[in-house]
Amino acid sequence: MPGTGKTQVIATLLKILIESGQKVLVTAYTHSAVDNMLKRFLKEFGEDREKVLRLGSGDKIDREVADLVYKKSPTQQEEEDLLRSKMIFAVTCLGVSNKLLSKNFE
């Protein structure tokens, strides 16, 4: 049901997991669901913004989280730096085949 705290629980779990050193894959069927979760996480824990990577098509991603998208094709070194520095990887279910994810979540 709407308003029961699902998104808040997910945001809090993300914070707990990244504080314990875990990398987390966040996925949902729609871009709006992924973006709503990220917006809630950032509203509560904005200091962790640099730990988030939003993968997906820029034109479908909410403007509030569009800056979290890595917009160019990374070199191998940039890819390694992204994988090392990011803790939360957010993408729709259809985007989980992204090559960055296949290297990070095997």
CA distance 74 to 60: 21
pLDDT of the residue at 80: 83
Percent of the chain past pLDDT 90, that is, above it, reads 61
pLDDT of the residue at 58: 67
CA distance 64 to 42: 10
Residue 70 has pLDDT above 60, yes or no: yes
Residue 81 has pLDDT above 60, yes or no: yes
> With 0-12 CB in 10 A as exposed, 13-18 as middle and 19+ as buried, what is 48?
middle
CA distance 15 to 44: 9
Task: Output the CA–CA distances (angstroms, integers) from residue 59 to 32, 52, 55, 69, 96, in the order listed.
Answer: 12, 18, 12, 11, 18
Residue 84 has pLDDT above 60, yes or no: yes
Q: Which DSSP category does 3 fall into?
A: T
Hunting for tokens 């989280």 — which residue is that? 65
